[in-house]
Amino acid sequence: MADPKPCPCRRGEPFDLCCGPILAGERAAPTAETLMRSRYTAYVVGDVDYLLRSWHPGTRPASLDLDDDQRWLFLEIVRTERGGPFDDNGTVEFVAHYKLDGRRDSMHEVSTFVRDDGAWVYLDGTFQG
C-alpha cells in the first residue's frame, strides 16, 4: 500500500483526510483557519472552482486566473482571532511561500472570514509588508 499523499496545508494529515473532502464538498470547514488551509490547498492543486465557491458572494470576483508557473511551497499560520465553531467571523494571518520564475517569495496576508448560510467563506484580506 502506497503512503498517503500529505496535505499541502501542512496540518500533518493525509490530503484525503484533511483538505481533500472539504475541496470536494463532502465536508464543511469547521473553523476559519480550516477554511484558510483548504483555500491554500486549492491554490496548490489549482482548484479554481473551490476558491470561488469558498469566497463571499459580495466580494467574489467573476473569475479567477491562477499562474501555472507559480509553485506554492508551504503555508505558515501566524495567528488566528475568533473563527471557531461557534463564531460568526474570524481573522487568520498567514504567510504563503511560493516560487515563481526561479525565485522564492512569500505573500503575507491578514484574511477576514465570515459565515454565509452557516458556512465559513473568505470575505477579504489585507496584504502585510
pLDDT at 58: 97
4 pLDDT band, cuts 50/70/90, is confident
* CA 77 – CA 85 distance, rounded (Å): 18
**Mean pLDDT throughout 35-59?**
98
Per DSSP, the residues of 46-65 read T-HHHHHHTB-TTT--S---
pTM to 2 decimal places: 0.95
pLDDT at 129: 79
Q: Which CATH number is correct for 20-127, 2.30.42.10, 3.40.50.1100, 3.50.90.10, 3.10.450.50?
A: 3.10.450.50
Contact 101, 69 (CB under 8 A): yes
Q: How large a percentage of the chain has pLDDT more than 90?
A: 96
**Mean pLDDT throughout 8-35?**
97
**Mean pLDDT throughout 34-46?**
98
Q: Is 127 exposed, middle or buried (0-12, 13-18, 19+ CB in 10 A)?
A: exposed
pLDDT per residue as tens digits for the range 86-105: 999 999 999 999 999 999 99
Q: Which residue has the cell 505558515?
A: 76
62 pLDDT band, cuts 50/70/90, is very high
pLDDT mean across residues, the chain: 96
* CA 32 – CA 34 distance, rounded (Å): 5
pLDDT at 121: 98
Contact 47, 39 (CB under 8 A): no
Q: Any idea where the domains of the chain sit in the sequence?
A: 20-127
* CA 129 – CA 113 distance, rounded (Å): 21
pLDDT at 2: 62
Q: How large a percentage of the chain has pLDDT more than 70?
A: 98
* CA 9 – CA 47 distance, rounded (Å): 14
CA nearest neighbour of 105 among 80, 78, 69, 79: 69
